[in-house]
Amino acid sequence: MKARSLLKLLSAALVAGAIAQELKKPADERTWHGRVAGFVPYDFRPPTLDRLRRAYWNPGDSTILTERVFGVGWAVNLGRLVRLAKDRVA
């Protein structure tokens, strides 16, 4: 239970950090996407179908972890995992 609480606290801190990072910028320079702490990606723009597809179903991309379409952290490129599984079976 403590690990779950720590994870929730860390997640909330990352979201707060990302929002604070954007609010420190002048209004016309805010993009609402970037990296918090120079490492963890964030994106608070409205999701688009194209970004959803690139993040969650992009078998041609060699990366498994991609940037989330909305929020803080990473997404799993399921298309790449399926392609890797098919290649392994073949």
Digit-coded pLDDT (tens) for 47-67: 999 999 999 999 999 999 999
When divided into structural domains, the chain yields a total of 1
As given in the structure block, the two tokens for residue 47 are 């999701």
Q: Is residue 1 predicted with pLDDT exceeding 70?
A: no
- For residue 45, give its domain range: 2-89
The pLDDT value given to residue 90: 83
pLDDT band at residue 74 under the 50/70/90 scheme: very high
Give the integer Cα–Cα distance in Å for 55 and 40: 15
Q: In what order do the strands lie in the sheet with 40-43?
A: 33-36, 40-43, 71-72
- Please write the tens of the pLDDT for every residue from 16-54: 999 999 999 999 999 999 999 999 999 999 999 999 999
As given in the structure block, the two tokens for residue 74 are 């990473």
As given in the structure block, the two tokens for residue 59 are 């078998």
Give the integer Cα–Cα distance in Å for 50 and 44: 15
